[in-house]
Amino acid sequence: SGAHVTAIDRSPARVARLRENLARLSLQAETVVADAVEWAGPTEGFDGILIDAPCTSTGTIRRHPDVAWLRQESDVTAMTALQQRLLRKSVSLLKPGGTLVYCTCSLEPEEGEQAVATLLAAEPALRRVPIEASEVAGLDEVITAEGDLRTLPSHLPNADPKLGGLDGFFAARLVKS
């Protein structure tokens, strides 16, 4: 839609796969292999930032049951620390009036609702902009009281259990004043 997109990941393999997908779809984006927390970014800042944060992936447990055996409490602690560093860095890269969308595929509140609450308490220039059910196919049940998106494996049931349910997912939209 005419936007200039910059995609950052510290994994050269993931950036290479992204470049292949962009070429296959005839899309363009500037790709950067870097640790986003350490990356300087453009001096003018960004109009919008999407953080698809590294997380414990507990929301994918219905498709990847091994997650329950592979994750430990210390993983949640390590991931929340990284997520907070990414969030704080993103605020510094965001222009006034810019939008920050934060998401994880985790069911852990520390990686979703609590991560956003911690950021909002530390960053008075940010405010939450609630997500509307109309933006998610009218699914009122996936919108939290705060206006965030929270899907659960119990959402979208189907008579055939193999066809029903969603991954656990969290997303919040914040705007910098």
In contact, 37 and 90? CB cutoff 8 Å: no
In contact, 30 and 6? CB cutoff 8 Å: yes
In contact, 102 and 174? CB cutoff 8 Å: yes
Tell me which of 49, 100, 105, 107 is the catalytic residue.
105
Helix, strand or coil, per DSSP, at residue 118: helix
To the query of whether residue 105 is one of the catalytic residues in this protein, the response is: yes
Q: Which two tokens stand for residue 102?
A: 């934060």
Q: Which two tokens stand for residue 55?
A: 């997380």
DSSP bridge partners of 58: none
Cβ neighbour number for residue 70 with a 10 Å cutoff: 11
Residues labelled catalytic: 105
